[in-house]
Amino acid sequence: MENPLFCLKQVPHRLDFMHLLPLDWQEPLKAEGIGLDQKSQILGLYIGTELIGGGMVFKGLPTAATDFEKSHAAHLFKTIGNYIGFVWVRPEYRGMRLGSAWFLELFKRHPTKGFWLAIEDQNLVSFYTQLGFKSHALHSLHGVFQEHILVYQP
C-alpha cells in the first residue's frame, strides 16, 4: 500500500471483523458459523493494531449468496478465481482511498489470480471498473437494476 500508516493482514478472529459490519451484513455471516473459517479468509486494514476495515476472500460461495450469484458461481470459481465479499471501511476512515488500497494490495499479493464479486448498488460500478474489474453479468427485473457480477483478471 502507498500509505505506510495502513497495513493489510489476516484478521485472526472473524468476530473482530464482523462487528465492524452493518447489522444486515453480520446476520448472513453469523449463519455461516464455523464453516466460514473453512471457506474464507478475512483480510483487515489496520492502523497500528486498530482494525478499521477489510474484506473477505471466499474459495466457496457463502450460504447467503443470491440465486443470481449461485447461477454463475461454478463457472466463475473455475475460470476466474475466488469470490470477494463484505468489503467495508469504517465511516470515519472513508474518503482516504482505503477500499481501493485493500483491493490493490490483494492484487499485488496474488498477481496471477483472478477474482469476482457481485454488487447490488449500481453506483459502485465505476469504483470497481477503475480497479480493473469488468462486467460479467447483469441482472435486472422489469428493467430495474438488481445485481451486477464483475470479474478481475490480471
Domain membership flag for residue 126: yes
Query: Which CATH number belongs to the domain containing residue 135 in this structure?
Result: 3.40.630.30
Q: Say if residue 151 is exposed, middle or buried (CB neighbours under 10 Å; 0-12, 13-18, 19+).
A: buried
Residue 1, in any domain of the structure: no
146 Cβ contact partners less than 8 Å away, ≥ 6 residues apart: 68, 120, 139, 140
The structural domain count of the chain equals 1
CB 98 within 8 Å of CB 45: yes
Q: What is the pTM of this model?
A: 0.88
Q: Are the C-beta atoms of residues 116 and 83 closer than 8 Å to each other?
A: yes
Q: Which domain holds residue 116?
A: 6-152
Query: pLDDT tens across 110-153, in order?
Result: 999 999 999 999 999 999 999 999 999 999 888 888 899 999 99
Residue 2 scores a pLDDT above 60: no
User: Does residue 124 lie within any of the structural domains?
Assistant: yes
